[in-house]
């Protein structure tokens, strides 16, 4: 039976099967040109369009179920599956884990249409694990062998949070220290757009920030100076550096960096911490790790 890892990130919905869709959902009656359309309980949802859901608690995300349908529907043709999802470490340690498990338990039988095609998916088993630590299980076997006797610092900079975990060495890896900071790419995008709108009397949306980061800013046909964006980026990553320096053995333990934000900041991270390494397949490392956790948990 197929096991699917599902990563409900604040920026992107990702699965262990290589599916990635912007974490945006809007209800709509006009489906022309829609890439991902989920019809569920007499409502129609366009996945990948609309606004980001910036609610930190994943158990309270309004459109969790249509996103789950899209994730599973795009990832498998099977009717019965096993699913693993993740939560930021601090949420995982709280009652959010039980809440998420209950949401899935109440919706184990999913009947929906995906792009007009009827789908019926039964979730036979479901588990929740901690984000960040799942990345360790996504590593190639040889890399894990190299690290087996070392404590590891995992840094996962995502869309809404930056999660740090000290993974202690041992036959069974355990979390020795963990932090979840409300610093992520969506927060940074918001800071950038607020500053741009204030400086140039514009009405740009948070979704425009990524384009500005990649291509710069043009106003009234004139290319603008955007050095102030570098200050915004540095002010945010410095908060992560401070937490690492104060609470983690950064000089004696390797740092594994993952997440979309991890990629964006990796040069700055590496300059500060020479032991830092970017995880291969970093955009999917959590989702792949979730799948590995499930396969180990449900060995037939």
What is the pLDDT averaged over residues 72-76? 96
Q: Indicate if 146-279 has the same CATH topology as 3-132+287-297.
A: yes
The answer to whether residue 30 scores a pLDDT higher than 80 is no
What is the pLDDT averaged over residues 272-293? 94
pLDDT computed for residue 51 by the predictor: 84
Least confident of 49-53, 119-123, 269-273: 49-53
pLDDT computed for residue 32 by the predictor: 67
pLDDT computed for residue 18 by the predictor: 95
What is the pLDDT averaged over residues 264-276? 93
The answer to whether residue 56 scores a pLDDT higher than 80 is no
Query: Which CATH fold topology does 3-132+287-297 show?
Result: Nucleotidyltransferase; domain 5 (3.30.420)
What is the pLDDT averaged over residues 271-291? 94
Task: Domain ranges for the chain, please list them.
Answer: 3-132+287-297, 146-279
What is the pLDDT averaged over residues 48-65? 83
pLDDT computed for residue 126 by the predictor: 95
Residue 300: band (very low, low, confident or very high) from pLDDT cuts 50, 70, 90 = low
What is the pLDDT averaged over residues 36-57? 87
The answer to whether residue 33 scores a pLDDT higher than 90 is no
The answer to whether residue 44 scores a pLDDT higher than 90 is yes
**Beta strands, E only, the chain:** 3-8, 12-15, 20-22, 24-27, 37-40, 43-52, 80-87, 109-114, 117-130, 152-157, 162-168, 174-181, 218-219, 222-223, 255-258, 276-278
The helix/strand/coil state of 105 is helix
What is the pLDDT averaged over residues 260-275? 92
218-219/117-130 β-pairing = unpaired
Tens digit of pLDDT for each residue in 133-147? 788 889 998 998 899
Compute the half-sphere exposure of residue 43: CA atoms within 13 Å on the CB side of its CA.
11
Tens digit of pLDDT for each residue in 101-123? 999 999 999 999 999 999 999 99
- Taking alpha carbons only, the member of 2, 4, 27 closest to residue 14 is 4
CATH of domain 146-279: 3.30.420.40
What is the pLDDT averaged over residues 191-196? 94
Q: Classify burial at 38, counting beta carbons within 10 Å of its beta carbon; exposed 0-12, middle 13-18, buried 19 or more.
A: buried
Sheet holding 12-15, edge to edge: 20-22, 12-15, 3-8, 80-87, 117-130, 109-114, 37-40, 43-52, 24-27
Beta bridge partners of 83: 4, 126
Least confident of 144-158, 169-183, 202-216, 218-232: 169-183
């Amino acid at each position: 039976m197929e096991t699917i890892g599902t990563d409900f990130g604040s920026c992107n919905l990702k699965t262990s099967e290589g599916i990635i869709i912007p974490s945006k959902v809007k209800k709509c009656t006009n489906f022309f040109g829609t890439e991902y359309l989920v019809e569920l309980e007499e409502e129609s949802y366009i996945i990948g369009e609309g606004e980001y859901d910036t609610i930190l608690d994943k158990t309270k995300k309004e459109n969790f179920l249509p996103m789950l349908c899209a994730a599973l529907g795009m990832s498998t043709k099977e009717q019965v599956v096993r699913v693993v999802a993740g939560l930021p470490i601090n949420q995982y340690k709280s009652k959010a884990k039980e809440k998420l498990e209950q949401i899935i338990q109440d919706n184990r039988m999913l009947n929906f249409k995906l792009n007009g095609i009827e789908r019926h998916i039964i979730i036979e088993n479901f588990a929740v694990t901690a984000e960040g630590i799942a990345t360790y299980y996504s590593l190639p076997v040889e890399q894990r062998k190299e690290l087996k006797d070392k404590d590891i610092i995992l840094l996962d900079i995502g869309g809404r949070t930056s999660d740090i975990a000290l993974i202690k060495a041992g036959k069974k890896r355990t979390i020795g220290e963990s932090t979840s900071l409300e610093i992520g790419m969506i927060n940074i995008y918001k800071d950038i757009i607020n500053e741009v709108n204030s400086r140039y009397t514009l009405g740009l949306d948070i979704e425009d920030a990524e384009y500005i980061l990649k291509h710069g800013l043009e106003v009234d046909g004139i290319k603008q100076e955007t050095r102030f964006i570098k200050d915004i980026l540095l002010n945010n990553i410095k908060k992560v550096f401070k937490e690492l320096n104060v609470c983690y053995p950064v000089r004696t333990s390797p740092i594994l960096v993952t997440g979309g934000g991890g990629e964006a900041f990796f040069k700055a991270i590496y300059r500060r911490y020479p032991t830092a390494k970017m995880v291969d397949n970093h955009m999917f490392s959590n989702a792949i790790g979730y799948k590995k956790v499930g396969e180990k948990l449900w060995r037939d």
